[in-house]
Structure 1
Amino acid sequence: MSSSKDLPPFPSDVPTAPIARISLSDLLASKPPACASALEACRTHGFFYLDLTATTIGSSLLSASERLLQISHQVFDHELEYKTKHDLVKGVSLFGYKRAGTVKSTDPNLRPDTTEFFNVAKDHVHGVAASRSYPSEITENKALFQSFTKDAHEVGMLILGELAQQLGVEPKAFQDKNIFTKPSGDHCRLTHKYAHVSDRHAIGLPSHTDFGSITILFNWLGGLQIQSHDPAKAGEWEYVKPLPGCAVINLGDAMVTFTNGVLKSAKHRVVPAPGAQGDVDRYSVVYFVRPHNEALMETCEEFRHLGEGGRSRGSLSRRGGVLTAGSG
C-alpha cells in the first residue's frame, strides 16, 4: 500500500474496546471534562484515543507519522540480510532492528511473532548519546525523527502533567521522572507485520504491558487488541479501531510503580487485522516515553500509604539500593 488512504475499511461487525476519545486541544486548555476523562481512562482501560486535530503540535505529529509510514515501507522492503546488519543486541541495547520470529512465554501457544521493527533512540537522533548504525532511510531523515520525537515527548509530558494535577500531586511529579534532555530509553519504533492471508491464528505480538511511562501510537490498520474492562467479559479481547486524526495512548508499568497501582498499564497484543484488513501488511509508528536512566523506580511519596500495589520491570540498575531506570 502506498498510502494510509488506500487501506480497506475496518469492519463494523467485530467487538471494539469502548475507550474514550479525548481532545488534545481540550487538554492543552486544561478543560476539566477532558482532564477527568484522561484520568478515568488511565485508572480503568489504561488506553484512550487522543484527537490531535485542531492543534499545531497535533497536526505536526500527524504529518510526521505519515512521512514515517512511508519511510517504514522503504526500510522494511530491504532484504533481511541488509536489515540484520543493524540488529539490536538482546540484553545489551534495545535500539536497532528486531526481526520477526520471537517466541515469548506470554503467548500460551508459544507462536513465533510476525512483527519486525526498528527502534530508533531519542538519544541518538538528538545527540544525547553516541549513535549506532541505522539504515540510510533513517539516518538521512534525522530532522524528521528529531521533530517527531520532540513533539511526541511534549504531548506525553502534557498528559502526565494533567494526570498529576488530577491526582492532586505536584504538577511535575511524573514529568521530572522523564526528562527529555537526559539519557533514557525513549525511542521511536517503526513496525511492520506481515499480512496473514493463510494463517488467521498467527500472532503479531503476544500479550504484554509496556515498560515505560507512556506510549503514543500511530496506526492505520486494525490488529491491536486490549482485554475487556467489562466484568462480564473478563479475559476477552477487543479490537482498538484506528481513528483518523487520533493517536492511541496507553500507560506503561513505570506509571504503575510511581502511583502504587492507582494508574494502570493494560495488557495488549497484536493479532491479524479483522476482515479484508488482514490481507494487508500492517505498519505502525510509536513513541515510547521511558523514565530517564537516573530516575528512581519507586512509588512517589503521595502514594506509598496505599500498600504494595506497584510493579516495575525492564532494564533496571541500582543506585544506593534503589532501582533506577538504567539504559535500554
Structure 2
Amino acid sequence: MRVVMFGYQTWGHRTLQALLDSDHEVVMVVTHPRSEHAYEKIWSDSVADLAADHGVPVVIRNRPDDEELLTLLKEADPDIIVANNWRTWIPPRVYSLPRRGTLNVHDSLLPKYAGFSPLIWALINGEQEVGVTAHMMNEELDAGDIVAQRAVPVGPSDTATDLFHKTVDLIAPVTIGALDLIASGQTEFTRQDRSRATFFHKRAEDDIRIDWNWPAEDLERLIRAQSAPYPAAFTHHRGKRLEVLGAVVSQNRYGGTPGRIFYREGDGVVIVAGADARTGRNHGLAITRVRTDDGRELPATEYFTSMGGYLTTHP
C-alpha cells in the first residue's frame, strides 16, 4: 500500500523504520518541528532525518490543518495514513482522505490510557501489563476500532525507561501486522469498550511533585515512573528542592505525620507516608538516593545526617 506517515520522536522514528523495511511504499512523511519541551526532548530520534536519508518527502507542521498540506496529501495519493506520536488533532478531512483511512499506533492497551504519557501513568497506577495498540482513527482521540494489540508484563522493579524499551520493540510487529490485515481486505475490527476508557493529560511539573499523603506503595512507583532520562520526582527539604532518585517501600510500619524524616532502615531513610499515617498501619517510603538542588547525587543515608524534620510538597 501507499503510506503517508505522521509521527514524531522515537515512536514515530520506529514506525517509519518499520514501514521502510516492509513491502509497503512510504510516499510522504509529516512530522513536528523540534521542541524544547522537557518531555519532547526525551526519546527524540528524528523522523525528518530518517525520511530524508531514504529520499522520502518531508513536511514539517505543528498542526495538520492547512490547505497546502491537504493539497500535498491529495497529490501523494495514499492508500492509508499511519500515525504514531502525532501530538495535535488530525481533522476528519485529513484522516478520512486515504482510501483505507488512518491507522493510529498508541503505546497503551486501549481503551485504557488514551492520551498522553500512558506508560508513566500506567506504572504509577500499578498496572500489571502495558502494550501497543494499532487502531483506526475516528473523530474521538484514541477511540477507533482496534486492528492489532500486543502486551508485555510490568516487572516489580521496572522503571518507565524499562517499559519504554519493552513497548517500543512492539511498534514494528503491531504496525506491520495491522497494515497486512488491512491490505488483505479486512474491514471489520474490534470495537473499543468505551465504558472502560480512560484519558490522561500531558505530564508537567506538578505531576512529579511528591505528595506525602500518597501511600508509600504509590510513591515508590512514582519514583520508578520518573526514572532517567525523565525528570525525577521531587520534594522539598528545608526550603530547597530535593529530587528522589531511588526508593523502596519500608519493611516495617511507621506512624505519625506524612513527610516526617523518621528512621534509618537498611540502605534507606524512611519517610512517613499516607494520609492516614497517624494510625500506624502504613509502610513508609525508604529513600535510598537523592539529588540536591545543586546537582549532587548521593545516598540518602549520607544526605540525611540526622533524623527529624519534614519533607514538604512546597518550599
Q: Same fold (TM over 0.5)?
A: no
Could you tell me the TM-score, scaled by structure 2's length? 0.25
| Larger of the two Rg values belongs to structure | 2
Greater strand proportion: 2
